[in-house]
A and B are shown apart, each in its own frame.
Chain A
């Protein structure tokens, strides 16, 4: 008899959802997390005031270089958030000659659901049909309509702030109240939409509880206090994370076991019955190994780690690893491409001069995709959206002047500034991949990830136009003194830099060219499911976590149904 009905590998964005859904359906579930436990009272640093920090909350250069050579370039890096990121010195990886890869992550309960930027957008019917329409990659085995009930379901539980717009390119979610625009954004929107009638500037959609519902409050979550300290961990539980929402929901069923500090080395497979029977784990501290068994296994370890676990689970019968008869495991690695941005000053108007903001909104504006939708793109397929904000300038030490005048200039709110950056779709390409390194191993004896991913011509052409469009949008908003990616040789961001890695065990209709079927079940092994970013057949240009949530809830339902029916 197996130890558990189900094992879920990973406790982050998607693993938390699978755990919740399976536990609530009565299954005994073991979530296995390679990192440490997360204790909000100890690990969250959101109750500090600016003057509480030693050394201006800065991490020393020597510590950055020694331990966080890659991680430290994250936009909200500081001394009180560095513990959310792995030490690169302890967790190295390799990029193939001539390539580069940025893999940012944290090893703790909650994973990157604690550090994410919370932007939450549905994929559209247009996105789900994109591969079929233009022939890149393979067709998704599901349609937008199949996702709708699952988007509805996860949105109401997680809590997404936003405003309904009725756009086909960016379907509406079930929304909590919106975080209103700043006066500068209202003006910019009016001007942009007057100049470009088919472009829209809408409110950002974010997983912050603008007003907590009774269902959310029952889990101990409260409304957003508008501090914009989310990246430190939120003591109010006001943004969605597996720690604030899904794991507590799983826990209260009494069906959850959470193992921390246990690295999954490989899956165990019974060739006779063609079932996965358990996982071999290594204690990250003692390095002791043991096997935990279950009737269902879900991989939710991230698109990189899940693909590596499969490839490391080799046997005579499966020389390329498990669930890899297609050879697609680890391939089609995608991200979102950045590198196109613009910022500038909005000259003062009488209305703007007299206005400011109250609170620190953890959100901004969004400009949905218009290229290859309402307007053609030059030399590329798919498209991009922009995220940004319009705010009054604050204090700065980088201004001329000394004495009372210097103080006064900082005490008075400054001009209005607009800034934004693009996230663009990356095409699925079999050549972009992650594999276990043939010789190099980590301190637990597991092969290092070997990345071989490049931005290719479609991404390059897309970013070039996104850069030009960014400037045109700022000009339309009336901005002056514009600085942008046009000032430089426009280059796509490095693969992985957007921290949206996905696609390494894609869903598809044909077992010869894909790893997962429409149930997120591997084509090859009926009791093995994957519902993290690995499953994505195409990347669209929207931030992907909301889709991982919907896919995870959907997959867990199918797994529980098959299990109850004795099919797996």
Chain B
């Protein structure tokens, strides 16, 4: 009996926490929110197919395929799913979920459809504008900046990101403090 009561209390507490966290977040994220913020977010410990589609599309827009791999080819979405399911706690999951929902709502409103369904040029156009605002206005959407930083870290720590896009030497073997940039024109991965 006591255990059951405790369990119920804990569940109630948890959802209260999740709600207040989401509320607090919604209050400080950008344009998509208002009436949308009251809606119930999924509690699944895994990012859904539509959430993953949004992440993949944003990651690939931020870091597209050029002569080197883009974020998707480098496996960035899988890293984010792993961080979400295996690494993060409930606060982290709530933070991501609310932040992603906010972005999805924003793009639905400004682009008329899910971000993942847009053409690459529409994605680049809309995300470019959003990005400029996020870095131009303090507090506009801190989740976006944090997500972008995670995407970039996952990319530049990946094998193609480190070894093809940037320069990586597992064992440099030597130190040279002052060498011509023409010999080593790329940023060191680590």
B149 partner residues in chain A, CB cutoff 8 A: 396-398
A62 partner residues in chain B, CB cutoff 8 A: 89
Say yes or no for A134: interface residue by CB 8 A criterion. Answer: no
Q: Are A182 and B127 in contact (CB under 8 A)?
A: no
Say yes or no for B112: interface residue by CB 8 A criterion. Answer: no
Give chain B interface residues in 114-135, CB to chain A under 8 Å. 124, 127-128, 131-132, 134-135
B189 partner residues in chain A, CB cutoff 8 A: 50, 395
Q: Are B165 and A407 in contact (CB under 8 A)?
A: yes
Residue of B nearest to A400 (CB): B135
Nearest chain A CB to B124 CB, angstrom units: 5
Residue of B nearest to A55 (CB): B87
Say yes or no for B83: interface residue by CB 8 A criterion. Answer: yes
Contact-size category for B = 35 or more
Contacts A356-B179, A361-B175 known; A413 to B187 CB distance under 8 Å?
yes
A411 partner residues in chain B, CB cutoff 8 A: 165-166, 186-187
Give chain A interface residues in 348-368, CB to chain B under 8 Å. 353-361
Q: Are A226 and B178 in contact (CB under 8 A)?
A: no
B64 partner residues in chain A, CB cutoff 8 A: 403-404, 407
Give Cα A50–Cα B172 distance, bound, in whole angstroms: 15
Give Cα A58–Cα B181 distance, bound, in whole angstroms: 32
**Secondary structure class of chain A's binding surface, majority of residues:** loop
Give chain A interface residues in 401-425, CB to chain B under 8 Å. 401-404, 406-407, 410-414
Residue of A nearest to B162 (CB): A50
Q: Are A402 and B127 in contact (CB under 8 A)?
A: yes
Say yes or no for A488: interface residue by CB 8 A criterion. Answer: no
Q: Are A53 and B132 in contact (CB under 8 A)?
A: no
Nearest chain B CB to A408 CB, angstrom units: 9
Say yes or no for B182: interface residue by CB 8 A criterion. Answer: yes
Contacts A58-B87, A185-B177, A396-B152 known; A360 to B187 CB distance under 8 Å?
no
A75 partner residues in chain B, CB cutoff 8 A: none
A170 partner residues in chain B, CB cutoff 8 A: none
Query: 9 additional contacts, CB 8 Å, given A182-B177, A396-B152, A400-B132?
Result: A57-B157, A394-B188, A395-B187, A397-B148, A398-B148, A398-B149, A400-B131, A400-B135, A406-B62
15 contacts between A and B (CB under 8 A): A49-B159, A55-B79, A60-B87, A60-B89, A179-B177, A227-B172, A353-B181, A356-B184, A358-B172, A358-B179, A395-B152, A396-B149, A397-B152, A404-B64, A410-B156
- A contact set with B: CB distance below 8 Å: 49-51, 53-58, 60-62, 179-183, 185-186, 224-227, 353-361, 394-404, 406-407, 410-414
